[in-house]
Structure formats: C-alpha cells, structure tokens
Structure 1
Amino acid sequence: MKSIKKLITLSMTGLLLAGAAAPLTNVHAAGAKTASSSYQASKAKASYSYAKKMLAKNRTGFSGKTSYIFSKKAYPTTGAVYGYSDFLLGLKGLGYKFTNAQRTKIADSLVLNRKSTAADLATAIIATRAVGLNPQKLHQTGAKTNLNLVSALYHRSMAKQTVNVQSQALIALSTGSYQRPSNAKFSKASLSNAIVKNQLSNNGWAYNNQTASADSDTTAMAVTALARSKSTSSAVTSAITKGQSYLKDAVYPNGAFGYAYKGKTFPNANSTAEAIIAFSTKQKTVKLVNSVFKSGQTTSPMRAMLSYVRSTGSIKGAATQTLGVGQVNLANAAYRQALAHRSVYSIK
C-alpha cells in the first residue's frame, strides 16, 4: 500500500517546514533533546502501521487484554470502544484511505438512537466524518431512514455537560459545514462562551470545574475546541492564550504532560498528545511542539511523546492501544498539518 511511503514523505516535508517556519526556542539549548526528522519518521511509521493492523483485525491491541474496536455486543450503548474517533481521525490525518467495506462496517457497528448522549453523538460525528461518511445523512444497512447526527447533537442540552463534553461537541461541529436546526438548544457561539466561563483562575480547565483539579487533558481539549470555534470574540481569544500559557507551565522536565495524584506525577503519551494537538491549533504555538520552552525542561513534547512508542508501534502505558495509538497518531497529524497551515479537524 502507498500509505507508508506517503506517511514518510508527509513527515519529512512537515519537518522541513518546521525547520523553516518554527525555529527552536531553547531555554537550555546545549542539553535540549528534540525529535529529529528521522526519529519522527521512524516512530510515526511504527505507530501508523500498528493502527492499520488494529483496524484490519478489529482489535484494540495485540498483547495483553484486548477486545474488539467495533462490537454491538461488547459495547451495547455505542457499538465501539472508547477512543475510536481519535483512532480513525489519526489514521485519516496521516493519509490512510478507508475502503467502502470499512466505512460500511463502521457505520453498521455504531449504536445511535434517541438515547445517545451528547458525548456519544459528538464522537460519532468525528468518526464518521473521518472515514468519509456524511454524519447528517448516515445510512446503516437495513435502516429505512438515514440518521442526522448533527441535528441530534444540536438538540441535546449543553447546560449541565462537563467541559470535556462541551469541548468534544464543539470540535465535532467544526469538522464540516453543518446546518444548525432552527430549534437547536445551543449554538457554537453559546457553547464557546460556556467553555470560557468555566476557565479557572489558574488559566486551566477541570473536569469538575474545581481549580485544584485543573489538568492538562481537559485544558488541552478546551483550547482545541475554542480554536476550532473560529470565534473572534475577545473573551474566546483571551481564553485560548491563557489556556496555552497554562499548558506551557504544566510541561514536566522530561517534556511530557500528565496528571498529579496524591503527590505523585504521572506523565503519559496521551496527555502529551493532547497538549501537542492544542499547541498545533495556532501558528504562534506550533513551534512549542518540538521545542524546550520552560526553565528546567530538557526535552521537547514531541520527543517525549514519541519516546512512548515501542518498536512494534504500540504505546507504553496506554489503557488501550485504540486510545494510545489513536491519540499519538492524531497528534502527529495535527502537528504536520499545522506546519502546512491546515487543521487535522478540517476534514475533506
């Protein structure tokens, strides 16, 4: 298949652009570790190849406890394992071409009905759009009518949703030129304002809106969502800047991102990937992805994230490879496309 060669070409082109458009902003230049073009290409090829095998075999991984990625029996409320939208979009962003058979399998596997939550609908919109389906006219084999996932999402109340769900919904609605129904319960503008209002005094966001619980993952999602809103509101643009400042300060000395629990820190590939995606939303911050920018930091986030990629392509410490490999691939794609002044979420 041509995908691997295309991936390597895309990687090298992006890295050349990086050298021209985003020079290193070193704090300790002499000892800084960044991801060289060859290192990026090698690690990206490994994780991309692993993801392709996962999709072909419909498995969440190939060692330890694994299950199906798509299964109505295993996941009766969604038909798919958690993280499948990032997994599919990561493949798409790195040049993968989904077959008609794969599109049909994915559409038919999803459980979508009146009981679907806002989070499930948002995830399904991103996933179906990524593989080349129309989430406003989604056809499932044997169904008499098509499903309009976008309209269904617009009819869910966002008032009491978590910041994560609000962010996921805003990101989902930015993946295409979708029609908003006249009786929608929210707009992209009102959703953006709701996210802004939940920003905490330390400039981050938390799943429970408590300052002590602010974390990189929730903050990165909120920053990405607000950037995707394309709002020119001063409140939104200010919130994005503050959120990215929070992320700059939250980087660990080893370049990774993570979370703290009971006095211990837990850096990981997924949190780092989320931060890379957030940095890749703006040309002013994409340079941070492969740079050292905080006192005491020795490694760039890109180098740190890729260090979790095993030689097999699987991700060290990932709860499931669907989420681990999926988000690493998505971060790689987001960075490369940002260097070319595009967004991985602008799906065509």
Structure 2
Amino acid sequence: MMKMKKLITLSMTGLLLAGAAAPLTTVHAAGVKTASSAYQSSKAKAVYSYAKKMLVKNRTGFSGKTSYIFSKKAYPTSGAAYGYSDFLLGLKGLGYKFTKTQRNRVANTLILNKKSTPAELASAIVAIKTVGLNPQKLRKSGSKTTLNLVSALYHRSMTKQTVNVQSQALIALSTGAYKRPANAKFSKAGLSQLIVKNQLSNNGWAYNNQASSADSDTTAMAVTALARGKSVASSAKSAIVKGQSYLKDAVYSNGAFGYAFKGKTYPNANSTAEAIIAFSTKQNTVKFVNGYFKSGQTTSPMRAMLGYVRSTGSIKGATTQTLGVGQVNLANAAYRQALAHRSVYSIK
C-alpha cells in the first residue's frame, strides 16, 4: 500500500476510506463482533466533535466537575491537565488544524523550570510538536529567549524512573528528528534497554516492576515506546513481541482491556485504547485491533472501545474527559494511520 501524502481527516468520506481495510460486517465468521466502517465512522465522529468543542472552550468536559485544560492556576506544576498531550495528538492524528491562538495557548500556559520532571517534559514535547511548534526552540509570547525542551529531557536521569515515565520519554523523543546533546544523561538506545530490562517473567510490565502488578496500560505503553525507539538490538525486538503476546492474553472476553483489583476486573476505554495503540505499532499486529485472537473472545478491541463512546461523544467511566476522549481519539488515529503504513507519532 502506498503511503498517503496527507493525514486522514474525519470527514465521512475520509473515515469510510480509512476503515476500508477493516471488516465490513459487524460479526466475524467465528462469531466475534467487530466494528463495521459505519459504526467506526459514527462513533469516531461523535468523540472527535466532542474533543473539538473541548479545545475551543478550553474545558475538560461539559458535565459534572470541570476545569480549564490549559491553566497555570489549575495545574501549577505543568500548566496542563493530565493527558493533554494525547488529547492534542489524537485531534491532529485525525486531521485537526490548530489555530495560532491555540498554539499560543498551549505554549504560554506551560510551566517549565529546573524542577520539571521527565514526565512533564515528555508531555510538553509531544504537545508543542503536535500543535506545530518546535520543542527545541520554544519561544513564549513576549519572551526574548527560547527553551529547548528536548535538551532539558535529555539532561534528566532515567535510571530510577518508572517504566511509564521511561516509555513517555522514549515516545516523546521519537516524534521528531531531535538532536541529542553531547552531555546527555541517556540515549534512546539506552532508554530502550532500560525498558527491556524491566520486562517481567510473564512478558508484561508493571508500574512497580512486580509481576503480580503487571497490567495492560503499562505494557501497552512499553510496547509502543520500544517500537517507536526503533532499537536494532534483538532484545528490544523480542521484548515487543513478548509484550504484544501479553496483551493478546490479557484481553477480556468482551474485547476490552483493563485492570484487576482485589479480585475484581475493571475493563475501560483508556486501557483498551492503549492496547489498540500498541497493536497499531506493527503491521503484523494491527489486524488484532478489529479482530479476535483469544479463545472465548466475543468482541474486537475496536468495537469494545467504541462501545464506551456516548451519543454526545464523551467517554463512559473516564477519569477525565481530557484523558478519555483524548486517548480514544488517539487510538482511532493510530489504527487508521497504521492501515496506511504510517505512525500517529511521526508528527509532521
């Protein structure tokens, strides 16, 4: 398949074309429910429209307790709500064009200083790159100096960070052809190996590096990060395969992903979205997004994730709509671009 020259947009035509490689029926030959092109189009349009409205109004949602997405006062350590980089990238991956006002809002509300954590810097890099600015030469309105967020991240030690943070950093550094400073504390190849070393005996990853705590979210992020890191080491390639194997086994019978706590399971849209993004990193696993791969599975992950989308476009059970809507949009974009042999993280 030839690479597409333009990002797939969320027009009805664009969505139908993007979903053309997906099954056109709602039930697989084996009895597994999949997401038809029409179903994907309807649900994706709803959640995309909700996200656009959130961005225009600078609100984290439109029911219950909400706040500004971009606010120094509301988020004094980073200037942005948790998950805002995924929120922005999900929009861009589906064809959204950011205005100058929106670009300035993202840049000017960032709070960055010597105390900024690797996670905050990684999130800022993705956000700044997504809206069309240069994270190596960021200049806020009225400032005469520029900020190099990439250099700042490279100067943070990663050895004692969690797998989640290590994965965030590796993903952020894969979004552009960034120059690594000569006195950097790590390299992308070295960071990939840190993640590989933290893989557990059950092939997953955990936030606390304990096998009993391995979960789909952390594993999906690690798989995505290793794929984006493009390490040539055989250990990294093997870790990706094993990580995706863990995800295949972790799917619930209803096609969703989630977590277990005190004997109960909690499938949710965000965990499912993370798994879809991880499956979309490789051409030999993108078929699992809207297919089946485990005995007893009744629904594809794509169908399961879109089942959490309300008619309004908001996400059922999301901690915040910024995170819920953002990651569902990002998963939709990752899948559609994977079908076109692209990556949503290759930000142009």
TM-score range, shorter chain: over 0.9
Aligned residues between the structures: 342
1:305 counterpart residue number: 305
| Aligned-partner residue type, residue 177 of structure 1 | A
* Secondary structure of 1:260's aligned partner: strand
2:21 counterpart residue number: 17
* Secondary structure of 2:56's aligned partner: helix
Asked if the contact 1:25/1:288 (under 8 Å) is kept, the reply is no
1:140 counterpart residue number: 140
Matched, 1:81 2:81: yes
| Aligned-partner residue type, residue 229 of structure 1 | G
Change in Cα spacing, 1:56 to 1:30, as seen in structure 2 (3 Å) is same
Matched, 1:103 2:103: yes
Q: TM-score, normalised by structure 2?
A: 0.96
Asked if the contact 1:24/1:292 (under 8 Å) is kept, the reply is no
Aligned-residue offset at 1:13: 1.4
2:4 counterpart residue number: none
Alignment partners' CA distance in 1, 2:60 and 2:82? 10
Change in Cα spacing, 1:198 to 1:25, as seen in structure 2 (3 Å) is farther
Alignment partners' CA distance in 1, 2:9 and 2:226? 34
2:155 counterpart residue number: 155
Alignment partners' CA distance in 2, 1:258 and 1:5? 29
Q: After the TM superposition, which segments of 4 or more aligned residues of structure 1 sit over 3 Å from their partners?
A: 3-7, 23-26
2:266 counterpart residue number: 266
**Unpaired segments of 5 or more residues in structure 1?**
none
Note the alpha carbon deviations across 1:38-71, whole angstroms, 9 max, x for none.
Answer: 0000000000000000000000000011111011
Note the alpha carbon deviations across 1:259-288, whole angstroms, 9 max, x for none.
Answer: 000000000000000000000000000000
Asked if the contact 2:256/2:267 (under 8 Å) is kept, the reply is yes
* Secondary structure of 2:282's aligned partner: coil
Note the alpha carbon deviations across 1:149-207, whole angstroms, 9 max, x for none.
Answer: 00000000001000000000000000000000000000000000000000000000000
| Aligned-partner residue type, residue 149 of structure 1 | L
Aligned-residue offset at 1:7: 3.6
1:8 counterpart residue number: 12
Alignment partners' CA distance in 2, 1:6 and 1:40? 11
Matched, 1:332 2:332: yes
Asked if the contact 1:84/1:326 (under 8 Å) is kept, the reply is yes
Alignment partners' CA distance in 1, 2:33 and 2:159? 44
Note the alpha carbon deviations across 1:241-264, whole angstroms, 9 max, x for none.
Answer: 000000000000000000000000
Alignment partners' CA distance in 2, 1:241 and 1:4? 28
Change in Cα spacing, 1:159 to 1:305, as seen in structure 2 (3 Å) is same
Matched, 1:120 2:120: yes
| Aligned-partner residue type, residue 334 of structure 2 | A
| Aligned-partner residue type, residue 16 of structure 2 | M
Asked if the contact 1:47/1:314 (under 8 Å) is kept, the reply is yes
Change in Cα spacing, 1:277 to 1:147, as seen in structure 2 (3 Å) is same
Alignment partners' CA distance in 1, 2:11 and 2:148? 33
1:202 counterpart residue number: 202
Aligned-residue offset at 1:19: 5.0
Asked if the contact 2:8/2:93 (under 8 Å) is kept, the reply is no
Asked if the contact 2:163/2:207 (under 8 Å) is kept, the reply is yes
Give aligned-pair identity as a percent. 79
Alignment partners' CA distance in 2, 1:333 and 1:59? 22
Alignment partners' CA distance in 2, 1:24 and 1:39? 9
Change in Cα spacing, 1:219 to 1:24, as seen in structure 2 (3 Å) is farther
The 5 Å alignment of 1:41-60 reads 41-60=41-60
Alignment partners' CA distance in 2, 1:229 and 1:77? 28
| Aligned-partner residue type, residue 8 of structure 1 | M
Q: Which has the higher helix share?
A: 1
Asked if the contact 2:86/2:330 (under 8 Å) is kept, the reply is yes
1:62 counterpart residue number: 62
Asked if the contact 2:26/2:34 (under 8 Å) is kept, the reply is no
1:284 counterpart residue number: 284
Asked if the contact 2:224/2:277 (under 8 Å) is kept, the reply is yes
| Aligned-partner residue type, residue 257 of structure 1 | F
Alignment partners' CA distance in 1, 2:175 and 2:182? 20
Aligned-residue offset at 1:4: 11
Asked if the contact 2:9/2:95 (under 8 Å) is kept, the reply is no
Asked if the contact 2:216/2:247 (under 8 Å) is kept, the reply is yes
Alignment partners' CA distance in 1, 2:14 and 2:288? 20
Change in Cα spacing, 1:320 to 1:216, as seen in structure 2 (3 Å) is same
Alignment partners' CA distance in 1, 2:8 and 2:276? 22
Aligned-residue offset at 1:15: 1.3
* Secondary structure of 2:35's aligned partner: coil
| Aligned-partner residue type, residue 182 of structure 1 | A
Alignment partners' CA distance in 2, 1:155 and 1:170? 14
Aligned-residue offset at 1:30: 4.1
Asked if the contact 2:93/2:333 (under 8 Å) is kept, the reply is yes
